Amino acid sequence: MTGAKLVLMRHGQSLGNEANLFTGWNDLDLSANGHEEARRAGRLMRHHGFRFDAAHSSMLKRTIHTLHHCLDELDQSWLPEYRSWRLNERHYGALQGLNKDDTIARYGREQVQQWRRSFDVTPPAVKPDSPRHPGNDPRYASIPRCDLPCAESLAMTMKRVLPYWQDTLLPALRQGRSLLVVTHGTVMRALISHLDGLSPEETQTLEIPTGTPLVYEMDDTGNPEQSHYLEPSDIILGDTPPPF
């Protein structure tokens, strides 16, 4: 039972990316460019003949809308979809919604860089009674409040993401099922770090492009054999993708 593929993809450019914000769990949509990035990624996967058995996303609209664009372009909108808070972006705590340049001006570049990219430094937390705490958002009502973050480091995000890999994604891959997972930059760092056996130092320097599929070819035990990004091609950037 071989040939399963895992495609990981960061959502298309969001309004938060466009405005240079700490977005985190703030539920901002895609920018106009992000919508096109998502459609282009779907056309690219269709051009290469990708067929999936299931699709996964976070509970934030920028991944859900990216996924739907991809499935529309793939002509696979009928696929079962699964959403999980464990695939949400890193929670940036009290930084969420702030402009990154303004935050640098207030706290200094070194401090902000530590909050953004160090492995185990946590940004300032939101208060449990804050409207910005996920425990006060109805979409997370079924999740124990003690599991929901007030702020996360990269290490904490990895700890939150890996149970979804172990309990949901890996068993499906071991059954030979190919999966499309649309998520966020920090979540992709966590998954890539685990799959590729990276050190904390290597993990925190990973740069993850928006709207670009990362393909893992899996063996029958669910271990990666090779991986590569699908690079855009002039052949498939037009409005009419070639048929399967």
Summarised one tens digit per residue, pLDDT across range 6-33 is 999 999 999 999 999 999 999 999 999 9
Residue 9: inside a domain:
yes
Summarised one tens digit per residue, pLDDT across range 90-104 is 999 999 999 999 999
Summarised one tens digit per residue, pLDDT across range 141-188 is 999 999 999 999 999 999 999 999 999 999 999 999 999 999 999 999
Residue 80: inside a domain:
yes
User: pTM of the full predicted structure?
Assistant: 0.93
Residue 39 is assigned to a ligand binding site: no
Where does the pLDDT of residue 234 fall: very low under 50, low under 70, confident under 90, or very high at 90 and above?
Answer: low
Residue 175 is assigned to a ligand binding site: no
For residue 153 the two structure tokens come to 């480091």
Q: Which residues are catalytic?
A: 11, 89
- C-beta neighbour count of 194 within 10 angstroms: 16
pLDDT of amino acid 242: 45
For residue 58 the two structure tokens come to 């976070």
Residue 69 is assigned to a ligand binding site: no
Residue 38: which of 169, 228, 232 has the closest Cα? 232
CA dist., res. 174 & res. 224, Å (int): 11
Residue 241: inside a domain:
no
Instruction: Kindly tell me if the per-residue pLDDT of 237 is higher than 60.
Output: no
How many domains does the chain contain in total?
Answer: 1
Residue 33: inside a domain:
yes
Residue 145 is assigned to a ligand binding site: no
Residue 158: inside a domain:
yes
Residue 27: inside a domain:
yes
List the CATH number of the domain containing 197. 3.40.50.1240
CA dist., res. 104 & res. 61, Å (int): 28
Q: Which domain holds residue 10?
A: 5-236
